[in-house]
Amino acid sequence: MWKGRFAQETAAAVNAFTQSLDLDWRLASSDIEGSRAHVAMLAEVGLLETDEARQIDEALLQIDQEVRSGDFRPSEDLEDVHMNIEARLIEKLGSLGAKLHMGRSRNDQVATTMRLFLRGEYRRLASGLKALLEVLLARAEADREILIPGYTHLQQAQPISLGHYWMGHFECFRRDARRLAAAFEAIDESPLGAGALAGSTLPLDREMTSRLLRFARPTRNSLDTVAQRDYLLDYHHFASVFALHCSRLAEDLILYASQEFGWLVLPDAYCTGSSMMPQKKNPDVLELVRGRTGQVVGHLVDLIVSLKGLPSTYNRDLQEDKRGLWASLSAVEAVLSVLPDLLAHVSVDERRAQAAFEGGFLLATDVAEHLVERGVPFREAHEKTGKAVRWCLDEGRALDSLALVEWRRLVPEVGEDLLARLNAREAVRLRRTYGGTSFERVAEAVAEGRSFLRDSWPLEG
């Protein structure tokens, strides 16, 4: 394609080294979509005859068929998807095909093609993410009244509603939906017409190609257009935070399903056995969800580092943007293919969950707040309750086993109504602050989550 200026053939090793076909052939249909808009625009501004444009468009459609049917065998010698398709067009139409690339560079072309391609990917991600959120909502609704221990520092802290727990993760993934929407917005500008870096002397109509390709507007600066990969960083940021959220959720479930916690039961269909130990049921799916997170974050770092030292504008380094992107997309999709269903089939061993409450120490804050309600300053209430806990530990007693007289001996300010509230269900029921774990607050959160998915979902798909 550039043979005019060169006195030597490109070395075979160089072709193999510089080609990107293995990375970009999947873009073929999107590349054709962009070319068709370019051709329509060229006809509109008089750079192609109407009939020429029609012939090129028909040939491009045929090539798209060849791509989709698998009949098109691209060649690495032609470097990338763009050159392969253009070469095929020239093969079909002769010098008419050679008109396609006027006013265009692969630099604006690849940026356009990527954005068109990513639209479809993002729609798939959006619907996977929505499915995940729907499962969490359904779980939260069904598990609203199930009590589990809540932890800070991985130490038992206060009883919570399992529904509240699921809604906590719902909030994480809701924010991820906003981040994906931001990534979506970042691809909603048309690079076509930026040329190699500075635009074109030809009278291209960038508004028209932008409109034909259903972008919101053409990009504003041609230099920036061919140089920047912020739109991919936005994807990687979404993916990294999403993977991080999945990883933390996975880590929780792995712990809660271990014998030491034991109150969560993972579905057999989402676990694997051991080749040696017959009793084992391993949470490999969750471990791999956790395990892939590092790779997803790695791809973000990879691209940031690649971009860091690049001078303006297009540099060939940018071609490598695809390698990590595809790997990241497939990791995220893989997680979305297993996680919602796994969550839908998790169950709780309520007897084991109840056992966690038996020492009663998760109710210590409730004792302190009971004292606060009776006028004891919180710091004093905290200390008095702490001493009662100490006494129970020394005596081998459970906090909720003390009779009123025993309580009064330890903390004279205790009221008669303390005993009635010293159980996990009451402890949860009474945490009615906005955003808290009480059953009614969880019901409200679920209702709000439903209306978010129905009315305010920030994504297509």
Catalytically active residues are 153, 274
Residue 80 interacting with ligand ARG (CB under 6 A): yes
Instruction: Give a three-class secondary structure readout of the chain.
Output: CCHHHCCCCCCHHHHHHHCCHHHHHHHHHHHHHHHHHHHHHHHHCCCCCHHHHHHHHHHHHHHHHHHHHCCCCCCHHHCCHHHHHHHHHHHHHHHHHHHCCCCCCHHHHHHHHHHHHHHHHHHHHHHHHHHHHHHHHHHHHHCCCCEEEEEECCEEEEEEEHHHHHHHHHHHHHHHHHHHHHHHHHCCEECCCCCCCCCCCCCCCHHHHHHHCCCCEECCCHHHHHHCCHHHHHHHHHHHHHHHHHHHHHHHHHHHCCCCCCCEECCHHHCECCCCCCCCCECHHHHHHHHHHHHHHHHHHHHHHHHHCCCCCCCHHHHHHHHHHHHHHHHHHHHHHHHHHHHHCCEECHHHHHHHHCCCHHHHHHHHHHHHHCCCCHHHHHHHHHHHHHHHHHHCCCHHHCCHHHHHHHCCCCCCCHHHHCCHHHHHHCCCCCCCCCHHHHHHHHHHHHHHHHHHCCCCC
Residue 30 interacting with ligand ARG (CB under 6 A): no
User: Could you tell me how many residues make up the chain?
Assistant: 461
Q: Which is nearer to ligand ARG, 248 or 323 (CB)?
A: 323
Smallest separation, CB 197 to ligand ARG (Å): 10
Smallest separation, CB 221 to ligand ARG (Å): 18
Smallest separation, CB 356 to ligand ARG (Å): 55
Longest dimension (CA), the chain: 102
d(CA 65, CA 84): 15
Task: Give the range of 247-255, 259-267, 315-323, 407-415 binding ligand ARG by CB under 6 A.
Answer: 315-323
Q: Which is nearer to ligand ARG, 80 or 366 (CB)?
A: 80
Smallest separation, CB 207 to ligand ARG (Å): 24
d(CA 114, CA 28): 10
Residue 318 interacting with ligand ARG (CB under 6 A): yes
In the set 220, 316, 379, 454, which binds ligand ARG (CB under 6 A)? 316
Q: Which is nearer to ligand ARG, 229 or 370 (CB)?
A: 229
Smallest separation, CB 323 to ligand ARG (Å): 11
Residue 108 interacting with ligand ARG (CB under 6 A): no
Residue 454 interacting with ligand ARG (CB under 6 A): no
Residue 40 interacting with ligand ARG (CB under 6 A): no
Smallest separation, CB 20 to ligand ARG (Å): 4
Q: Which is nearer to ligand ARG, 226 or 353 (CB)?
A: 226
Q: Binding mask 383-422 vs ligand ARG (x if CB under 6 A, - otherwise)?
A: ----------------------------------------
Question: Hey, what amino acid is at 381?
Answer: A
The residues facing 152 across adjacent strands are 155
Q: Which is nearer to ligand ARG, 32 or 428 (CB)?
A: 32
Smallest separation, CB 27 to ligand ARG (Å): 9
Residue 3 interacting with ligand ARG (CB under 6 A): no
Q: Which is nearer to ligand ARG, 8 or 155 (CB)?
A: 8
Residue 115 interacting with ligand ARG (CB under 6 A): no
Residue 106 interacting with ligand ARG (CB under 6 A): yes
Residue 60 interacting with ligand ARG (CB under 6 A): no
Smallest separation, CB 303 to ligand ARG (Å): 13
Confirm if 392 and 194 have CB atoms less than 8 A apart: no
Q: Which is nearer to ligand ARG, 8 or 69 (CB)?
A: 8
In the set 35, 84, 107, 293, which binds ligand ARG (CB under 6 A)? 107
Residue 110 interacting with ligand ARG (CB under 6 A): yes
In the set 35, 222, 319, 385, which binds ligand ARG (CB under 6 A)? 319
Residues in contact with ligand ARG by CB under 6 A are: 20, 24, 80, 106-107, 110, 314, 316, 318-319
